[in-house]
Amino acid sequence: MVSDGTVGASATPDRGVAAALVRAVRPRQWVKNLLVVAAPLAAGELGDVDVLVATLLALVSFCLAASAVYLVNDTADREVDRLHPTKRLRPVASGELPVPVALGAAGVLAAAALAVGWVADPALAVLVAAYLGLQLLYALWLKHEPVLDISIVAAGFLMRAVAGGLAADLPLSQWFLLVSGFGSLFIVAGKRYSELHTLGSESGTRRSLVRYTDTYLRFVWSTAAGATVISYSLWAFEQAPDTGIPWHTISIAPFLVGLLRYAVDVDAGTAAEPEDIVFRDRVLQVIGVVWLVTVCLGVLTS
């Protein structure tokens, strides 16, 4: 067992550390940050150049901020990660990435995230700062507190959804916020359910799991799923035109089917890494494309 994150650093070539750093910032998980595009897309404003630029800046800002959080989290968790069957291979836990390098890179990424956010809109920089502060509390303490842990992770997803509208100075509807909030809770509770299902509460890799039961987490993610569908349906009905094809209303069908498809993985205990489901499930990808097309048609014809 490696005793410290800096062990082996002197024997590791610079390019080996660089490669480990690239893996540690988890570019594969940047797909979560596409939620930043949700508000401008729903508002039908992505075709505006100023809105598009602001949205892209918000996306970059959250990718940088999320990577900084991953580095801090992996550093704080390096001891328990070494007990996990797969997390022990993470660069910090395995010793490939020295702790000082990880924390230094986290600081640089956080500063860059704030700078990019400020360029887009000072309000976005404030949101990114709040995200970083909340996630730092999570990494160092609140991840071990039941309910608070899933609430904070869900809040992180919600902040991403809000970021696009904030950067582009677009109003956010109450239904959009409800869909984003409950949808985030559904994903996070499903993630915890899968972790409990796969590892068990005695694994020692996540202390908050000791206080959870599969029935409680099933209650949370099923309740959140129902609230998400209802909120989305109310939003879609509100957008429906008086005449013509109600594309927003039609989009409820693929939205519901996609959520049910994702729930299959949650129920099977294989949703511990949501991005893996998005990348590997071809049927879910097709459903997602159908939903996106119906929403875009609704925006273009409204």
Helices (H) and strands (E) in the chain, counts: 14, 0
Burial 62-94 (b: 16+ CB within 10 A, else e): bbbbbbbbbbbbbbbbbebbbebeebbebbbbb
Q: Which residue's structure tokens are 């801090």? A: 72
Closest CA to 216 of 193, 239, 182: 193
Task: Answer whether 172's CB lies under 8 Å from 39's CB.
Answer: yes
DSSP symbols for 62-120: HHHHHHHHHHHHHHHTHHHHTTSTTGGGSHHHHTSS-HHHHHHHHHHHHHHHHHHHHHH
pLDDT at 204 over 80: no
Dihedral (Cα; 235, 238, 244, 246), 10-degree rounding: 20
> Can you give the pTM of this predicted structure?
0.82
pLDDT at 202: 43
Helix (H, G, I), strand (E, B) or coil at 173: coil
CB-CB neighbours of 262 under 10 Å: 22
5-9, 37-41, 194-198 — most confident range: 37-41
SS (H, E, C) 107-118: HHHHHHHHHHHH
Task: Answer whether 64's CB lies under 8 Å from 112's CB.
Answer: yes
Closest CA to 227 of 270, 187, 171, 266: 187
Could you tell me the pLDDT band of residue 93, with boundaries at 50, 70 and 90? confident
Mean pLDDT score, 225-246 = 89
| CA dist., res. 27 & res. 56, Å (int) | 16
DSSP symbols for 213-251: -HHHHHHHHHHHHHHHHHHHHHHHHHH--SSS--HHHHT
Q: Which residue's structure tokens are 């991953």? A: 70
pLDDT at 278 over 90: no
pLDDT at 203 over 50: no
pLDDT at 11 over 60: no
| CA dist., res. 104 & res. 117, Å (int) | 20
| CA dist., res. 281 & res. 203, Å (int) | 28
Mean pLDDT score, 65-86 = 87
Report helix, strand and coil shares of the chain as percent, to nearest 5.
Answer: 80, 0, 20
| CA dist., res. 128 & res. 164, Å (int) | 12
pLDDT digits (tens, 9 = 90+) for 24-52: 999 988 988 988 998 888 877 888 899 99
Could you tell me the pLDDT band of residue 6, with boundaries at 50, 70 and 90? very low
Q: Residue 291 class from Cβ within 10 Å (0-12 exposed, 13-18 middle, 19+ buried)?
A: buried
What is the distance of C-alpha 289 from the center of its chain? 19
> Rounded mean pLDDT of the chain?
86
pLDDT at 155: 92
pLDDT at 1 over 60: no
Residues comprising the chain, all counted: 302
